[in-house]
Chains A and B, each alone.
Chain A
Amino acid sequence: DAGVIQSPRHEVTEMGQEVTLRCKPISGHDYLFWYRQTMMRGLELLIYFNNNVPIDDSGMPEDRFSAKMPNASFSTLKIQPSEPRDSAVYFCASSPWTGRANYGYTFGSGTRLTVV
């Protein structure tokens, strides 16, 4: 398996523009997580899905953020409109289950977002 695939790797956009980040989880993994990593706050969970259904989106910072998972092999995280404070590295991770997952959670390489 190619692992969790995220695109793009880098995104530079102007304030006010819409940004869409993409993730392809590992086949057979029922759980998908979106994280944001910054120096100040570390790795924060934004939202997670189980079997394509959003379970907990309490980490989504504002209404400007939205996430979808239309099928088991694809998820998007959208920011509209983007702001400079959204600049961070966004990670997607997947797992067959949660709670004492023996092999941990598999992370993608991340998308480095810069909003100017």
Chain B
Amino acid sequence: SQELEQSPQSLIVQEGKNLTINCTSSKTLYGLYWYKQKYGEGLIFLMMLQKGGEEKSHEKITAKLDEKKQQSSLHITASQPSHAGIYLCGADMASGGSYIPTFGRGTSLIVHP
């Protein structure tokens, strides 16, 4: 089973609409990353959240971390076609004394102009 579950799996919105993507961990979170992947390309780092309650913004994208619930949400305000892509959450999962970067399956976002 996935250690990081993302929802929804896919999202289609009209330009200008707000949207939220969620990421839930089955294990204790020691920090959580958000990445964006354009179709056919690599992953681009957006931001990292380290502390419970922390909130960060990158242009019109805001992410929050709820450590108690082991969840993070990524919110896009006034979406634009340039926001289209796959959004992945990732976290360092403790494994045998190391931290292994693990990722959710991603949320595919399409923004219609």
**Contact A103 to B45, CB < 8 A, known contacts A42-B2, A42-B106, A98-B92:** yes
Q: Contacts A42-B103, A42-B106, A105-B101: A99 and B43 contacting too (C-beta < 8 A)? A: no
Contacts known (A43-B88, A104-B33); A98 close to B43, Cβ less than 8 A: no
Contact of A101 among B40, B92, B106 (CB under 8 A): B92
Q: Which residues of A contact B31 (CB under 8 A)?
A: 99-100
**Chain B, 37-53, CB within 8 A of any chain A CB:** 40-45, 48, 50
Q: Tell me the residues in window 1-56 of chain B with beta carbons closer than 8 Å to chain A beta carbons.
A: 2, 30-31, 33, 35, 40-45, 48, 50
A110 contacts the other chain (CB 8 A): yes
**Chain B: interface residue total (CB-CB under 8 A):** 27
Closest residue to A10 on the B side, CB-wise? Answer: B40
Contact between chains at A45 and B102 (CB < 8 Å)? yes
On whether the beta carbons of A105 and B45 are closer than 8 Å, the reply is yes
User: Interface size on A (CB < 8 Å)?
Assistant: 27
**Among candidates A41, A43, A55, residue contacting B98 with C-beta atoms closer than 8 Å:** A55
Find chain B residues with CB under 8 A from A102 CB: 48, 50
Question: Interface of B with A (CB < 8 Å)?
Answer: 2, 30-31, 33, 35, 40-45, 48, 50, 88, 90, 92, 95-96, 98-106
Q: Can you offer 8 A-B residue contacts whose CB atoms are under 8 A?
A: A42-B105, A43-B88, A48-B100, A99-B31, A100-B99, A103-B48, A104-B35, A105-B33
Knowing that A56-B100, A93-B43, A105-B90 touch, tell me 4 more A-B residue pairs with CB under 8 angstroms: A91-B42, A100-B92, A107-B42, A108-B42
